[in-house]
Structure 1
């Protein structure tokens, strides 16, 4: 049965309450011509595709092009290239995958010889600023923070689910942040969404979006496709876990097929839900469902190049959405769940394609509107290419340089020996 259209006047459900911390855009200085030594702290496997990893990688490369020296500090995850993407990467601590709710993350810890190497790295690195990403992830970021004697900057990328577990985690984060944030020299959130986890007096939050090298995606335009034959390709990119909402997309796709629309579903990624999704596609005898599987970071421009529409149905847990920015840069219209992070990106006419999280009927009708309306697809393609430049690493990196300079000045005022 084709899913019913959403009721008139229905609006996406809001996420979260009013922000509690003052928010300001970053001030902008001229970049220090002498360059800075910067440590970027990645709490996750740096070699695994992910939004935080992508941001750290492309930000670091952009900072180096501005004349700064960057070291990425990330956990040891087995065999890894010494300088992935040409970056200097120092391995600190060991990582173990942990499941929390509907997602997975890495818990890291440096003990014994690993801790000695970490001590030496921080003591001898000569860093002007240490930039922590998703600082909540235990425990190596905290180990570094305790050893740091320089300017400390933290970017908060994460949001919590509107569930009992999520509320408990949010309460914990707020309690920690009251003590942690005043000790930092600069606090950044990638959108207003993560500020729901932050509480502290006399602390100002800079809103600076994650970035990626969007030129890679714009350059793909016009290349030959592998998946053609006149069908409209709908792309999902991400981990196949419940938090990403791909199960909702699968139901909406089934309705598109029942409506005899010429569509194909491309699913790029792997994860614990893959077996269930494959079984659903087989049981419903859904045509043209392609499981692309895991992919390398360098393959992502080609994935977007194969698509006509990108779908990001994550019902919660998204503070921004690098995949949406990449799709926009590739000139692809986006249908997305109206979680707090995605609402921050898709504005104007593109906001028409934000749907209530978990509403498969609304997802079907939003996808259908793009499938049948080439003019709408084209308008959103042009809007996306222009709008995405706000999130290009060449645009964002100078904003971070300004914040680093401000943080260094603050740290030196606090401790002249820095």
Structure 2
């Protein structure tokens, strides 16, 4: 009876607590929406000055504060929502308890069979202990599992870095001539900061930091994973930091050929398709060995469109470079290159290329096959080849000797 009264007295308190949590959660949700709107307005204010490469430092600080406030409010809303859900589940269980199963009733026409009961002693019987001490040959019992409501508590929000203090520290070290320490701080910031924080720090350094520090930090951000570096690039452009964004994009040109497919994929997922095309255009003038390596990597990663774009960019190279490139490429890519050349180069240059490939039977046959596939279009080129004394028909395969078939 007493437990029932305590449960009935505790229920109004829990209902009041649930109402307080709902009211607090509503206020936090409104504050979170206001912080999101303020963050969006600050971003629009920064983008509204495209002519200025270095946005106002006050706007950048306000934007950083708005992001910290929004993320903190979001984390607190999640915590309150979990607490409110657990409390409402307890209230529902109290209001609608599950009834105990009824005991079996005896039959009306049957006499109950009584078994003889032993005589009870006056001493109270001790209940068996649920957890006895483990025997030497037994393993100790594991501790009971944690309660469910403690197991699903969300982790506390991560501590955001103080970008203003970091900017002042970098500036102070630069004034004292501690350039190695400045470089170390910039390397750590590029490696540890989130893309949004890294872009904000670049903006603060461009406004109040040492000369060239913002460019160095943007350039160092290219040393992270392609996903992280591309995210920093997008944040820099959103803040209007065009000079720093260009510095970061130029650092992508130093990527090895093996890392370029992942970088192109990250640019595509970020919606920066023009950057991927520009990157392939730059690689089109790379040395022959590096260009060959990149074409092979793109083919291995299943990017045939990028392979075609790369070889099309390389079609404007000198004839000697094209001959070396065709001989170093794998056979399938060499065929693709020669077909691109047949479609893009004028007749005089194609005759010059055919003369250079005359000693390479397979490559010359591939170029001639590309020209003969559309002989109406390449009529002038085929006539120029005949004038130069070069073959315009595929050479027949060398017949095998009858002695070789034995």
Task: Please say which structure displays the higher CA radius of gyration.
Answer: 2
Decide which structure has greater strand share: 1
Decide which structure has greater helix share: 2
> TM-score w.r.t. structure 1 length?
0.18
